[in-house]
Structure 1
Amino acid sequence: MTAHARQRLNDDFSNPVRLSLMGALQSVEEADFKSLKDALGISDSVLSRHLSALEEAGYVQIRKGYVGKRPRTWAKLSSGGKTAFAEHVQALKEITGIS
């Protein structure tokens, strides 16, 4: 008997903010902190907390630098993050019957 697709869902993406964050990052090469915050409609602290958790899990890479004299933070999916998110989305599609 084949395991149900729900068993392939990634618990790290069960939080709606993390799911949205992964979705936002999967369609771009890299995104700056402010753009992510605005796109997701969340506060700095919420975004920072979830980015840190995803970075710790190895799904997101964080780069810090400066634009002029102002500090900036950029995020992008790691190769493992791309794979894990694609597998999660595929499991969701199977569960919902969306092809």
Structure 2
Amino acid sequence: MTQLPVFDPVIHAPGRLQLCAILSRLDEAEFAMLREKLETSDSVLSKHLRLLEEAGYISIRKAARDGRQRTWLSMTRAGREAFSAHVRELQRLAGLAG
């Protein structure tokens, strides 16, 4: 019996997949750093982050720093587990091609 892909539709979009890959390696990241890494606009990044937050995959913290309001993001335990499962599925599919 052929196993159907078990992709997480929230994570699978390229921008969100990149965000999860970055956040999975860090305790916390600032919004501006993520925007630069992804080479995207504030509005596009905000949309991706909102979907990840609604899924419970990231937490968002706002704090004043250097006289400005900063946004910090971190991956939740559920987000890390979902990302790991998604990566395992991608690896499984890549293995079928070899």
Fold conserved between structures, TM > 0.5: yes
Q: Which runs of 5+ in 2 are unaligned?
A: none
CA deviation string 1:33-84 (max 9, x = no partner): 0000001110011111110110011001000011032000000100000000
Computed over aligned residues only, the root mean square deviation of the Cα atoms, in angstroms, reads 1.3
CA deviation string 1:3-48 (max 9, x = no partner): 23x1x11111221111111111111111000000001110011111
Q: Which runs of 5+ in 1 are unaligned?
A: none
- The alignment covers a number of residue pairs equal to 96
Runs of 4+ in 1 over 4 A off after TM superposition: none
> How far apart, CA to CA, are the structure 2 residues paired with 1:78 and 1:92?
21
SS in 2 for 1:63: strand
Which residue does the alignment assign to 1:37? 35
Which residue does the alignment assign to 1:80? 78
The one-letter amino acid paired with 2:68 is: R
Which residue does the alignment assign to 1:25? 23
Which residue does the alignment assign to 1:3? 3
